[in-house]
């Protein structure tokens, strides 16, 4: 009796395993089929995301936020909500554009008060205010995946010059540096057009910035200026005629 019961259990397990093996390819087939269908719809000339004309110039005014990375993040760790930029893209061919951007970011922190000893018996108990301000100007190349769609993802690579100042203030005592460097910026983002053939839209992007600016504050030296920035703004599009 036990032998027959065990054989029935084994048969049920085999059926269940066989059924699960059959279901896995079906699930993967459904997922692949859904992704393929979405891609076909996006590329279809009848898609609601597809525009009848391609814009050949983009101009954007953006609000920029960001945080410092690397050694500079030890100088200022606060997230910055103070920034902006103006940028544009002019298409060279259907999927490739020449880009430019000019922007600024202001990073700031307030260190809790403590006692500073300046020697000769001079001491000061005060807060410390730290600032980093940077203003890059860059040119770059930008690749677009779906330039005819209302949602236009892109990937860009920019290179340019970065002007920066670094400031430490302890009450009335101030130390300030001013410097220039090269800056490299890979950027990922997308444009969202407000309507079919509409010249207006919004732009959302994220960028990593690596600048070669060197500066010294007190006894500490900083060899570069790194940051990650998130930008959002309004875009005006110029269409081909």
| CA separation for the pair 49, 43 (Å, rounded) | 9
Q: Which two tokens stand for residue 97?
A: 């554009």
Q: Is 162 within the bounds of a domain?
A: yes
Cβ proximity of 170 and 154 under 8 Å: no
Q: What is the pLDDT of residue 125?
A: 75
Q: Is 49 within the bounds of a domain?
A: no
Torsion of CA 146, 152, 155, 157, to 10 degrees: 110
Q: Where residue 199 sits, what CATH number does that domain have?
A: 2.40.160.20
Cross-strand pairs, 184: 159, 210
Q: Is 149 within the bounds of a domain?
A: yes
Domain shared by 11 and 37, yes or no:
yes
Q: What is the pLDDT of residue 102?
A: 97
| CA separation for the pair 129, 131 (Å, rounded) | 7
Domain shared by 24 and 64, yes or no:
no
| CA separation for the pair 76, 56 (Å, rounded) | 40
User: How many domains does one find in the chain?
Assistant: 2
Q: What is the pLDDT of residue 18?
A: 47
Nearest to 236 by CA among 61, 98, 48, 54: 61
Q: Is 48 within the bounds of a domain?
A: no
Domain shared by 102 and 14, yes or no:
no
Q: What is the pLDDT of residue 8?
A: 52
Per the structure, the complete domain to which residue 224 belongs is given by 55-239
Q: What is the pLDDT of residue 210?
A: 96
Q: Is 194 within the bounds of a domain?
A: yes
CA distances from 222 to 152, 170, 213 (A): 38, 20, 8
191 three-class SS = strand
Q: What is the pLDDT of residue 172?
A: 76
Q: Is 183 within the bounds of a domain?
A: yes
Sign of CA dihedral 43, 49, 54, 55: negative
Sign of CA dihedral 88, 238, 48, 193: positive
Q: What is the pLDDT of residue 17?
A: 45
Q: What is the pLDDT of residue 201?
A: 94
Cβ proximity of 187 and 144 under 8 Å: no
Q: What is the pLDDT of residues 174-195, one digit of tens each?
A: 888 899 999 999 999 999 999 8
| CA separation for the pair 145, 153 (Å, rounded) | 6
Low-confidence spans in the chain with pLDDT less than 70:
1-53, 116-118, 218-219, 241
Q: Is 8 within the bounds of a domain?
A: yes
| CA separation for the pair 178, 135 (Å, rounded) | 12
| CA separation for the pair 237, 53 (Å, rounded) | 11
Domain shared by 132 and 33, yes or no:
no
Domain shared by 27 and 63, yes or no:
no
Q: What is the pLDDT of residue 37?
A: 58
CA distances from 103 to 7, 62, 63, 136 (A): 75, 9, 10, 6
Q: What is the pLDDT of residue 22?
A: 45
Q: Which two tokens stand for residue 134?
A: 């940077």
Domain shared by 80 and 20, yes or no:
no
């Amino acid at each position: 009796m036990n032998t027959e019961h065990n054989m029935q259990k084994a048969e049920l397990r085999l059926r269940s395993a066989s059924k699960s093996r059959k279901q896995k390819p079906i699930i993967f087939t459904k997922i692949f089929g859904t992704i393929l269908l979405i891609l076909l719809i996006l590329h279809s000339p009848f898609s609601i995301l597809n525009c009848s004309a391609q814009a050949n110039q983009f101009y954007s005014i953006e609000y920029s936020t960001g945080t410092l990375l690397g050694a500079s993040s030890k100088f200022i760790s606060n997230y910055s909500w103070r920034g902006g930029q103006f940028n544009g893209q002019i298409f060279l061919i259907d999927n490739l554009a020449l880009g430019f951007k000019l922007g600024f970011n202001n990073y700031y922190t307030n260190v809790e008060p403590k006692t500073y000893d300046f020697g000769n018996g001079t001491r000061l108990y005060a807060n410390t205010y730290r600032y980093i301000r940077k203003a890059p100007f860059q040119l770059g190349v930008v690749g677009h995946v779906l330039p005819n769609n209302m949602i236009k993802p892109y990937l860009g690579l920019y290179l340019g010059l970065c002007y920066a100042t670094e400031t430490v203030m302890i009450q009335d005592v101030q130390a300030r540096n001013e410097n220039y460097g090269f800056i490299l910026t890979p950027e990922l983002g997308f444009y969202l057009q407000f309507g079919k053939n509409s010249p207006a839209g919004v732009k959302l992007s994220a960028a990593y910035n690596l600048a070669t600016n060197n500066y010294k504050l007190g006894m500490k030296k900083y060899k570069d200026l790194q940051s990650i920035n998130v930008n959002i703004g309004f875009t005006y599009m110029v269409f081909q005629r």
